[in-house]
Structure 1
Amino acid sequence: MGNPKHILTYGDAFVDYIAVNTENNQFNRHLGGATVNVAAGASRLGLPSKFITITGDDDTSAFVRQELENEGVDLSYSIIVPKKRVSGVYVHFTPDYDRIFAKYENETPDLQVTAQDLVEDAFNDASVFHMCTGTMFHPEALKTTLEAVRLAKRGGALCSFDVNIRPLRWDSEEQCRTTVFQFLADVDILKLTTDELAFLMETDSVEKGIGRLSEFNIPLVFLTDGKNGTHALFEGENFHVPVVPVQPVDTTGAGDAFVAGTLRYIHLNGLPKTRAEVVDCALFANKLGALCTTKHGALTAMPKLEDLERLS
């Protein structure tokens, strides 16, 4: 593919218990978690993908590792701590099949990847390091993420950040905002939804939110808005990139598919240098996000390159 480096992702693996109907009384088990979806989604798009996470010695952890390896994700920089138990997430659906993260189960929250567990070569050999807020609410994981960003910047990797806010995980809204803001100075690519923009910037006005976000001078920002497409913020401009209409059946994982698409574009081409390149990147990512909504599940719905023919 012309780039010998890999995509490096850090985060928690989850087991998603996803409702099979809008009554939310039956569930199927799937490997999940935003960073898992991105790592696997990148691999499905033909990228060398490596994932930093922590698992235990039980059957659920073995299931997680096997599923990731089946997806072609390299776990050589992940760690195993026997007592660790993988978290569970219960996903409910509204009548319109929008997802609701209803409940989290985490038996071993204090067993985390530590800063000392990170291997510098993993970052030196990465084109992009990707993260989200999924573990940042925990003090140890926050330290690890800060060190990961430091290693990525020192190693010359671009830093990608999907804020992916899940309010139930945080002690307070202010803790969440403060944590997100401390990373923005080092971020090269930021992805967030219009709802997350409203939450972070404390305004219901997208225009005002974009204005406040622009003060952080992030090189590339994608503000996703579901079927309405994506706003791209680049070099002081704000422009809209449409998405091909589809008939959605499940929106779970669409944002992660979008991120995987941006990572593929940037891995192959570097950070966009012109408005036209930003549009190309967003159009490609929008297609992947849209395709993801046409299948049930999250990881199971991550598109492959050949799936794009369905939208041509």
Structure 2
Amino acid sequence: MPDIITTGELLIDFSPVKAPGVENAVCPNPGGAPGNVAVQLSRLGASAGFIGKVGDDSFGHTLKDCLEENGVDVGNVVVDRDVRTTLAFVHLNSKGDRSFTFYRDPGADTQLRENEVDKSLISGCKLLHFGSLSLTTEPSRTTTLNLVKEARGLGRMISYDPNWRPALWKDAEEGIAAMGIGLELCHVLKISEEELSLLTGTDSIAEGTKALHQKGVILALVTLGPDGCVSSLKGQLRHHPTYDVKVVDTTGSGDSFWGAFLSQLIQNGYDTPEKLESLGQEELAGFCRFANAAGSMCASKPGGIPAIAGREDILRCMEEMDVLETGFRLM
């Protein structure tokens, strides 16, 4: 039984590529945040499984095969004949940062029903990770929330990524309200600076993370792009700079960061909420450095899952690459 279960969207990212004489050329790559996290976990030797749904089409079979080839348990990846696999077109700006256009109406990932889930995966895991894209529509919203509540009731650790994709919500108000539900269900959280502001109503990292802890979050990592991340463990804030690599494509880099961080938690025995409370600041800093290196390595290559690094490359980054000095100061 996998130690870590991720659940949510599994989709194809069409990433821009350079092709002689062709404008707007794209290359299909397997992706979807929870799928990316599962692959990063597996590549680092963690036992990972995925719960989700794809369409009975070439894209869906490619995605399922990709997870399986990367050592992820796909026993609960449902293949549905009645819906198509979700597609996402990635747009990159001059800095390598991306935005998305989704083809998802409804999209197989949104159609997972609770009776299609093997509940033994929930009872048998140590940690369940989910993201907000599963909350955008039914039936995946109810299915996901019920799985999370069941896992939490069994004492399992809950990880959450409020992955803000405004195009997938009817309006910002609805999206922010639904994303906020996950904050009250998780123990460990990855959240961007923009998402922190949206969900807490403040641009202050200190005040925002304080609000998160009041909702029950034990450990929050605020991702800051080139500024690395800030950890907040029970209200203790610490900044962790990232590595100076040439950024090519940030698609999947946050998921790589998070998969690497979760691997460190579980592989070092912090696999229950109670144990997480005992994590020390220096050990946490080491986990964050490792996660930052993983995210940096992913961002240095094009295309989501194909860019996700293994342990040797991550350690090499930590040994050989300079820390990126951006002048960020935690105020």
Q: Could you state the TM-score of these two structures normalised by the residue count of structure 2?
A: 0.87
Q: 1:186 is paired with a residue of what secondary structure?
A: coil
Identity value in percent: 29
Give the total of aligned pairs: 308
Q: 1:216-262, CA deviations, whole angstroms, 9 ceiling, x for partnerless residues?
A: 23110000101111111112211111222222111111100111011
Report the equivalent of 2:234: 235
**Alignment-mate amino acid for residue 279 of structure 1:** A
Q: 2:209 is paired with a residue of what secondary structure?
A: helix
Matches of 1:81 and 1:247, distance apart in 2? 40
The CA deviation at 1:212 is 3.0
Report the equivalent of 1:106: 104
Is the aligned partner of 1:32 residue 2:31?
A: yes
Matches of 1:207 and 1:24, distance apart in 2? 44
Matches of 2:184 and 2:315, distance apart in 1? 38
Q: 13, 16, 20: which one pairs with 1:19?
A: 16
The CA deviation at 1:52 is 0.6
Report the equivalent of 1:128: 127
Q: 1:130 is paired with a residue of what secondary structure?
A: strand
Q: 1:1-45, CA deviations, whole angstroms, 9 ceiling, x for partnerless residues?
A: xxx752101011111111115997110011111111111111111
Q: 2:75 is paired with a residue of what secondary structure?
A: coil
The CA deviation at 1:186 is 2.1
The alignment's C-alpha RMSD in Å is: 2.0
**Alignment-mate amino acid for residue 148 of structure 2:** V
Matches of 1:97 and 1:192, distance apart in 2? 20
Matches of 2:281 and 2:237, distance apart in 1? 10
Q: Could you state the TM-score of these two structures normalised by the residue count of structure 1?
A: 0.93
Q: 2:139 is paired with a residue of what secondary structure?
A: helix
Q: 1:90-122, CA deviations, whole angstroms, 9 ceiling, x for partnerless residues?
A: 001112221121x11124447611122222210
The aligned runs of 1:1-312 (5 Å cut-off) are: 5-21=2-18, 25-101=24-100, 103-109=101-107, 112-269=111-268, 270=270, 271=276, 273-311=279-317, 312=319
The CA deviation at 1:304 is 0.5
**Alignment-mate amino acid for residue 163 of structure 1:** P
Q: Contact (CA 8 Å) 2:3, 2:48: kept in 1 or not?
A: yes
Matches of 1:238 and 1:5, distance apart in 2? 32
Q: Contact (CA 8 Å) 1:128, 1:263: kept in 2 or not?
A: no
Matches of 2:97 and 2:2, distance apart in 1? 36
Task: Tell me whether 266-275 or 84-93 shows the greater mean CA deviation.
Answer: 266-275
Q: Contact (CA 8 Å) 1:124, 1:156: kept in 2 or not?
A: no
Q: 1:97 is paired with a residue of what secondary structure?
A: coil
Q: 1:176-203, CA deviations, whole angstroms, 9 ceiling, x for partnerless residues?
A: 2211222222211100111111222233
